[in-house]
Structure 1
Amino acid sequence: MSPFYTLCTSPMTTGSSKPLLYFCFIPLFFFAHVSSSAIPSGNTSQYALVDVFHTTDSCYQDSVVKVKQADSSKISFFSTFTTTKECSARMHENDFPEKLPSCPPGLIDLEVTPDYVPKSQLSWPYANLHMSVTAHAPIDAVFLRLQCLSTSDGADVYCSDSKDMYINGVKEWPCRGIEFSNKVKFPAKFTYACFRLTPYSVYAINATVLPQKCRASTIITSPGFDVMFPEILVDPTAKNAPKDPLWAPTLALDFSEDNAIWVRYGTAPKAECDTIKVNVYKEHENDTTKISYLETLTVKCPEKAVKWENQAAGQYLLTAYASTRGCEFMCNSTSRGCTQCLRTHLNIRLHETRASIPWLAVQKFKDHSYEILITVLVLFGIFIIASLVGFAVYCYKKKKESEIVRDIQLRDFIKPMIVYADDSHLHTKCVTHLVEYLRKYANCDSIFDVEKLITLENVTPSRWLYDQLSSANKFIIVMSHCAELVLDTVASETHELANSRPFGDLFRPAIDAILSDVAANPSVTRKKYCIVRFSYAPPVPPNLALLGFPVFNLPTDFPHLTAFLHSLEYGERLNITQNIPPADMNTWRSAADEKAQFIINNPGWLKDRWKPKSDQQMMELKRKSPVVIQTEQDRIKASKKYNLLPPKQDIEDEEEEEQPTTSTVVVTESTFLIQPPKPRTEEEAESSSEDDEDEEDQGSDTIVAYN
């Protein structure tokens, strides 16, 4: 026999103080339907059925008990238990099991609806529970018991712990019953309509049947009294009442079936509707503060119930509302003209799954998901192991390939430009080593301003800078403390780098040109520009790091810098051999360490280099005898004074070879280095455009004269 589940309460004989809802597991059994025998021919009046239930108590007025007309004049065919004490005593005479099973389908029907009681001289309007049990097969007795499951406040007398609820020291829930004689013919109906219905309380109504010892159960709740019974629906003569009011139904759950729950609703007698909708939500098992929407059950009026199928065990929330006057279940705060429906809520916990056979079959498949999961995991593990083995073989091959040493010959001759700030002579010394080693070991002839500007005659430094920026295809930006200050936009508004050379610092215009190029060609600039920093240099500023240029720490990353300049792969995972001899590497490191020690010993050295713009000492051009450079010693002395590098000896030798040797005339040329002109005042800066253009042509801070 197939098992089924039903909602039960603890046996009424125990008189427990708190209701207990749970689901019972029992075998399904069948009852034979009573079949009427053939009516013999002759006088048929003795076989006619008449209702013999007559009472002056209006609480039982809808009850129906029928017997044969021939027996109607005999003794009473039934007895009612009109008090809880009588009803409970009759129930205690039976030996009920610990968990009563649910009655099989077709034995009884239990219906619970609200009854409106109008205002009288003794009370205001209120509502009662109209409980009705219809027995379709022979039974001996049926008992109706009301249990209060929860209430919103202490107004519900049934939910209180009043002394009136106790009989002989045991709490007994309100109970009414009827017992039939063997002369009663079925179906028979027993009704009781005088248990008070308190708004927002939740009740369980249990119909216990003898001798079958089974039970049918219904849970019911209601909204507020005025919401359930609007005045115009119960009193058509009411004045100033809305003609088409909003209302909400009562909500009841019938657990008479094993694989589903019947959701029923009750309304005021004259309430009209198109549909009643019930939204179903389920509480999360791991987080009771969250619920998930499952489905919406729809009942088309005038139907009174809808079947809710396939429920897994858990906590549920049901919300019922009537779609009247175009109301909506939920209105947003921004919605205009939206009317929210009145609603009834019911919380219910299902301790066992109630579902149809197909749904249970799917659940069975899910129940074996562990075995399926194990199989899938085994197959997945085999796949992972095979993948790992393949990946290991791939990595091994790549490692072997990486161990292969490739000797790449630098065929191209690169002319990168060094972009740096005039930090100090020690910093310039480190940059000079960079230029020297690029020339020796990286096949690069760097464009270095202190080398080029002293060898070029009649050249404007700014024009020379832009000529190089437009022609060079690689650029090396050298970070330093002064470079960091120049890149700081806020600090540069009030301060500037003091010149230590006859011409202005070219770092700022060079950076401006680089930023313009990056904005115009963002896709190619990362292959064109790079940043280098020595051990003493500060980190790359965020506004420069944002450009994404590769950064090389010198002298350690010199091989990777070489690869970058020659457009080769220079990633960190590549092991590129250092091509600088150890002696030169030590010299370079010593120069960097000397600069670092200088910073430690002179913490305020930047104050002499980074000064307010108003405090800059302006260089003036005075009428005096120029410095005469006639010998190599004079040239070296002047270079040290103005922080310039002397020209290489091979360049001077080439110039001597280019001089004509056949001429008998000896021409003696003297070079004079004079101070730069005095900067213009603000009044002179507002002079005519022609004067400005002439002065722009003379914009070099270094003036070289030949005599």
Structure 2
Amino acid sequence: MRGVIEEVGWILPSISCLFPHLLINLMILYANWSLIFASCPNDVEIFKRVGMEGEYSREQLNYSLEHDTMVCDDLQLRYPNIYSAPCEDADLDVTISSIPVLPNGTNILPYVNLNISALVHTRCSHVFFRLQCLEAPDHDDQYCHNHEAQIHKWGRMIWPCRVLSVSKMASLRLPFRFGYHCFRLFGHSHYLINVSLVPSLCTSSLVVTIPLETQLHSSIAQFYGGDLFNPTDWSPLVIVDLTPTDGVWLRYERPSDHRVKQMTFAIYERLDTSSRFVFTEILDAPNSGFKWTNVPAGNYSAFVYVNRHDCSLLCDDGNNGCIICPHTMVKFSIVKDKYTTAWRNLRSVANFARVLALALLGVLLLVALLMLAALIYVRISRSRCRHIERDIILTQRPSILLVYTDDCMAHTSCILVFAKFLEDFANAIVHVDQLELNTAGVIPTRWLVDMFAKSKFVIVVFSEGSQVVLEGKTLQCVRHFPDLFDTAINHIISELNRYTASQGAATSLMTSTRFIFLHMCYSPSSVIPPNIAAFPVRILSIPEQVGELIARLHEQPIGSQVVHQADTTQLESAIEEVLAFRRSNPSWLESRIAQNTDKEAVRTDISSLPLSEPQSFPSFDEQIRLARDFNIEPPDVEPSLESGIGVDESRFALIGSPDDESDSN
């Protein structure tokens, strides 16, 4: 139907023609009474607004109200971007309410209509109303469950659509209101209402639900219950406005027949298998709604009820005395986050800080992984280098001074075998006291000083005996020459001190190439005192590290595993003899320590000394022979300087004789 708007005002479908139309469809109602509301009367009444100056003539402004869903849908399809942007509050204000419809005859039951009112503040050519069912537990709700009629009629399912078209948009005075109340509401059903404007191409979207009709309107409850009607069982119509970009509006329809001082909104987030409580909002009259800002995307449920002392929103299964308060539950979904600008900026800063922290953590983790990879690579490389076998090239003939202590005969013999091993398989010249101090005329201390000076390498073999000597004790001397270990170690420590001082304040000293400390496998490494082990000297265990020893003597690289052709059979046999000796003599070391005697306590009785015939002083030749036999210094060529008695007394004879008579006589 087409008509003329005389003034900017209220454009409402007339409810006066509703009941005649219902009577025409009475037979349909009897079979399925919900189908009667598929159409609505086309009459439109114009209400004059108070205080408006001037009037429109009927020829000035034409409008049309389209009730055919398919025609309305075809018109809306011309604007594919109509749902792309939300309408601003300055452009459109949508009000939702419910209208109870009581029967005008004996064969009609009460029902509830949805009243949609759009207050438009911008010039537009079309205002679209669309109703879409989201959820309906009541199978009589034909919007949600019975689509066969629409599919049969149109070939597809089309949600109900109404459109107001204005032909002379420029002449329209603002604001104007377009209302429509012909959509039927069913209890607990959820509906999505879209109000769209053209040419603004914006849409306001709202979710609407009601409780049972008897809970929503007391007039319907009295129709069914009569005197049993209880006003406290009331629950409201609930609206969720999804239009704002920074949140959602939650509203309820205040009752007109009794006062409600306070309304409670309990918000829950619906998860896959449970619900999470978000918050509770309490509204005092006359407020009917609140805006929930900064809403993250998700699925939510809102329970709207009057909080009373005699009921509760949630009751345990085992509590039979608990009464659930009358309430309305609305479900809605937020497709994308709805944040305010300040909250978005704050979240951006927080997200940036989080990303920065994660990036720093990632960088640290990457650095740690790189360091770990480098460490593993170095370990593997070193391991590979160790497993690279390399023959020792014996290109030199190094001279070696071998220093040790005479622990026992087995140990001394093992040292001699070790010296022979170095000569045979290390191509070395070994100076050892057992071989060189047996020569007549060799002074032990002078030999030690000479060998220490001219030997290229000094090898010190530490053992349990050397540990005792370094503690200040003395081993019993069973050889014809003294033990030179104490003297040699003093020379070594002096030279190592000079070497350390020459290195300066370096954090890591270079290992001395001249000195090598050893211990046989039958002696632990602890036989080397910590103060001596602290010197930058390589410490080896024989025979396990004999290959490295040979490589060091020939100045070969030590970074790889050297392969030597040395036969250690005799050396290992000598070591076994030492071990056998120690097993058979557990206290061998105590027996080798010299016992100190108190010289003051020893008093020799002179009278007990045996008397013998005076011996003549040995001649010079006999002194030379005795010196050679006892390995001592020979006498000087001029014996008279030592004894004071000349060999040839006639050279120094006095002139005359005491027996001669004096010249004075």
Asked which structure has the greater CA Rg, the reply is 2
TM (norm. structure 1) is 0.43
TM-score using structure 2 length: 0.45
